[in-house]
Structure 1
């Protein structure tokens, strides 16, 4: 159960709201499973490999919590954001008041059913004790379980998860030409919690691709402090290809920030979106480190929730950060190529062939998320470098 709170006033803090959900510490991976998967299952001796406790809160946004904002004032305030109101005068603007919240470090929007196709959702957050961020336009991230799977029955639509830094207030604007807003709209606010292992991070891979098809170093779920008590059981399919994603959000994170960022995405996917686990099979950071995503064994064909329709036939690797106008590091490109080359070797995938079932739209063996959905993911700068990743994978596999 998530906390729900209506927005009722400027920097309003509702004293009657239900307690923010805090997840209990979960058991670590079973000994047999940990031995079966080729990951770093132990942290350094000076760090405790125990899960951290994320906190997630949903601020419910209904028609009664919204007010009308004039177009001219709105355009002045959202300058620089992707605004539909700037492109058309036939757009109404609805807004919450400024909502004070408990501390959080990441935010996203979710809703039930389909979002109105013409609505633009804009969000800003206030740093704890500081100023407000710029307005961000958030879009349907097109992630999710395959529609014919049980996991999809309780899934909510949602936007990319935005890393905000330590924050304590939020405000939402909705630009809508027909007055419609998403059904059961909520602002999901996540605080990742802290784990003793967050700062105990090993050095990144050195970038050598000479043995890329051999098993790379993959940091385990225990290394990023996963609370295993909140996830469901793994299901298995096939690996015929790979999809490359980005997570959106900040690119300026440090090495010690990464475990908390992954925990935040995990909490958002499970308790914000209603999925049974984090959607990606692997995550890569800008320092070139590879992290285990969805539970079930990195050598196995675990079905994720990253590219709807293709999850049963492909694994998903997501680069932490936003790459629409920022170039991915060469270390990150190398890490993505390494994990793809190794997985293709494990599952016997030819990186030069298209081998999805005929019922699906043909895709390259290594594709970007946008190839299979109406999304900008993995960002223009990362998408334009898929040819580099493909070349490195092909060279590594001989």
Structure 2
């Protein structure tokens, strides 16, 4: 960007140099580039309008800009707007507030200017912001200008009033141009009005020199009534499902259904579809790790995992008794991607801790629209049962509550179901630990002080409540507020059922390193209800286990008793899960199947699918293997006892068709003889019939192992390049 004058270096240590950002995150987060927080000064310490804040007004005058018909502006640029109290109470929608035009009615207006990329923005000022003033912002993302957004003065802050006045954090999906406007009475403009633009990895601060800022082309845009509407499509799913369904071609009649049909090389039964589909292959993973420690019902990204810079933390945690939950939302365009969420959280952290001067992030938890949960305020995850660290999420009501913020603006479009569910589960976890029996009930709460209740005032407050119930704010938005019933219901279910990922391990694993009836390794991992998966997760040549509980996946890199090294969410609980080395890098990862579409992930993290392909029919049984020995796993579908094998991850005709075993057999795949190629085995009762070539014929190995009721596992348990059996009991 243009040169700008360095004002001051905030207490910043580059996250990568300090080791605060996991290596995987550093490689994959597109918003991780270091950069200073950019400050655009709009008024001086004396309250005078700066050159930057006057530039847009001067341009409008040169263009003959006048207030549009029906606008609230006057000849001198001032305007009259409804009382802010009405707006904050949610009685007047921003899109129709007095017919306000943030350009024509402005008393302060910047030009549209290009800046370095940023993810979080916010306005600060000295003193208070009179109700006669309304602050607006619009941003450019991916070459398109957003609507104008009303930036609400924050109803958050520390109960001891430490810090400066400002707006709620405004999040973007990576904006590179801005324009700011203030509508109201010019005589009421506050001193030190400044727009802060925070990147995903902030290092220092710099004041932008208006003379060096390139102007940006920008057509007029309206005022946002629903900031979330423009991004409805992105909230649908984080799985990367193709926008259009992948139709399955009609298949010819299946081959002979006998016991041993003949192998056919290059045969082309149309088991595939017309084309495979790659779904955003450039989309990275979200984070490197999560935790489910302390009985958490969902995986939570800790401060260390999302890269909280300890240099910004100047607020000593204070744990107090707490038994209420306050639900919030943020402001902004709602256009962030799953891979940007950690960077957005880092931006909010900087804005709260440094820009607003709180010394830490105000929320105890943050939940993105993909259902990912982030630890906020330091001390949140190590709070004892019945206590919570005091935050800065609701001024005057921080002490005795836990604050959860839904990342996004939910004025009239509801939060995603994944988001609401995560908020409910975290709320239920917290309330249950506090000894609360009903998430739908109310209890007395005493305020420290707020703009809605006097210090010492006690009211009956719902156990799970919205920010607007404790302060004069529209937060968490009308649509967000309407979901609190669902949040409470989910919380109550969570309180009744307990954690979705219990810490106890009850399943016994028996692994065999050779073809015999005796287990060589025995250990405990997972629950009786866990789906057990086998794969080489770290590329060391040894197959180890993973457990899936609902959509939560945990795994270990050693075949020993213990808990998961970490957990993450991928897919939906109803998806079929497959394991394979899809990209040939020597490590196994997951794929989930929906119908005949396979959503493939090339890393053991949550987030969007890297590739989606269609193959076969929704009714086919599917198996995975490296059929041609090229180091990459692909798919085969089974119909009866006939296997239609594909040697590439795509649609189209099968490369090999082979029959083996009986239609009712349980099928397994593995490299049984160490030649680098996977072949088939079938199980009848507790006896396994193993074939070392992809041909019909008699079994090469017949071996009893375990019990008929055991769950079967296949893997190279000792790194000798030969797969053998294991069972989970």
Aligned to 2:189: 181
Whether the 8 Å CA contact 1:139–1:160 is kept in 2: the answer is yes
CA shift at 1:182, angstroms? Answer: 2.5
Corresponding residue SS for 1:223? helix
Q: Distance in 1 between matches of 2:473 and 2:458?
A: 18
Aligned to 1:121: 135
Whether the 8 Å CA contact 1:92–1:177 is kept in 2: the answer is no
Q: Does 1:64 align with 2:49?
A: yes
Alpha carbons of 1:214 and 1:262: their partners in 2 closer, same or farther (altered >3 Å)? closer
Aligned to 2:490: 392
Aligned to 2:125: 111
Aligned to 1:330: 417
Whether the 8 Å CA contact 2:467–2:476 is kept in 1: the answer is yes
78, 97, 102: which one aligns with 2:111: 97
Corresponding residue SS for 1:381? helix
Whether the 8 Å CA contact 1:204–1:287 is kept in 2: the answer is no
Whether the 8 Å CA contact 1:25–1:52 is kept in 2: the answer is no
Alpha carbons of 1:121 and 1:214: their partners in 2 closer, same or farther (altered >3 Å)? closer
Q: Distance in 2 between matches of 1:13 and 1:22?
A: 24
Whose strand proportion is higher, 1 or 2?
2
CA shift at 1:287, angstroms? Answer: 2.0
Aligned to 1:362: 460
CA shift at 1:98, angstroms? Answer: 3.6
310, 313, 326: which one aligns with 1:228: 310
CA shift at 1:389, angstroms? Answer: 1.2
Corresponding residue SS for 1:244? strand
Q: Does 1:381 align with 2:479?
A: yes
Whether the 8 Å CA contact 1:92–1:179 is kept in 2: the answer is no
Give the 5 Å matches for 1:4-83.
15-18=4-7, 23-25=12-14, 46=24, 55-62=36-43, 63-65=48-50, 66-67=53-54, 68=57, 71-72=66-67, 82=95
Q: Distance in 2 between matches of 1:15 and 1:313?
A: 44
CA shift at 1:53, angstroms? Answer: 5.2
Whether the 8 Å CA contact 1:82–1:136 is kept in 2: the answer is no
Corresponding residue SS for 1:245? strand
Residues 266-296 of structure 1, C-alpha deviations (whole Å, 9 max, x = no match): 1111121111101100011222222111111
Q: Distance in 2 between matches of 1:214 and 1:22?
A: 33
Residues 232-282 of structure 1, C-alpha deviations (whole Å, 9 max, x = no match): 221222212000011222333322111011011111111211111011000
Corresponding residue SS for 2:303? coil
- 5+ long unaligned stretches in structure 2: 74-92, 203-283, 447-455, 497-729
345, 355, 360: which one aligns with 1:272: 355
Q: Distance in 1 between matches of 2:487 and 2:108?
A: 43
Q: Distance in 2 between matches of 1:173 and 1:60?
A: 13
Corresponding residue SS for 2:306? coil
Alpha carbons of 1:219 and 1:364: their partners in 2 closer, same or farther (altered >3 Å)? same
Alpha carbons of 1:72 and 1:112: their partners in 2 closer, same or farther (altered >3 Å)? same
Residues 40-71 of structure 1, C-alpha deviations (whole Å, 9 max, x = no match): xx96x855799985632221111232435665
Corresponding residue SS for 1:222? helix
| Structure-2-length-normalised TM-score | 0.44
Give the 5 Å matches for 1:202-221.
215-221=297-303
CA shift at 1:134, angstroms? Answer: 2.2
Whether the 8 Å CA contact 1:82–1:137 is kept in 2: the answer is no
**Could you say what the CA RMSD is over the residues aligned between the two structures, in angstroms?**
3.5
Q: Distance in 2 between matches of 1:221 and 1:164?
A: 21
Alpha carbons of 1:16 and 1:254: their partners in 2 closer, same or farther (altered >3 Å)? closer
Residues 84-125 of structure 1, C-alpha deviations (whole Å, 9 max, x = no match): 56269xx76332334443332321111122101110111122
Whose helix proportion is higher, 1 or 2?
1
Residues 276-323 of structure 1, C-alpha deviations (whole Å, 9 max, x = no match): 101100011222222111111414111100011110110100111111
* Stretch moving more, 177-186 or 384-393: 177-186
Residues 114-157 of structure 1, C-alpha deviations (whole Å, 9 max, x = no match): 101110111122347x34332221111311111xx2xx23x122
Q: Distance in 1 between matches of 2:182 and 2:118?
A: 22
Whether the 8 Å CA contact 1:241–1:315 is kept in 2: the answer is yes
Whether the 8 Å CA contact 2:140–2:175 is kept in 1: the answer is yes
Corresponding residue SS for 1:260? helix
Alpha carbons of 1:342 and 1:120: their partners in 2 closer, same or farther (altered >3 Å)? same
Alpha carbons of 1:107 and 1:179: their partners in 2 closer, same or farther (altered >3 Å)? same
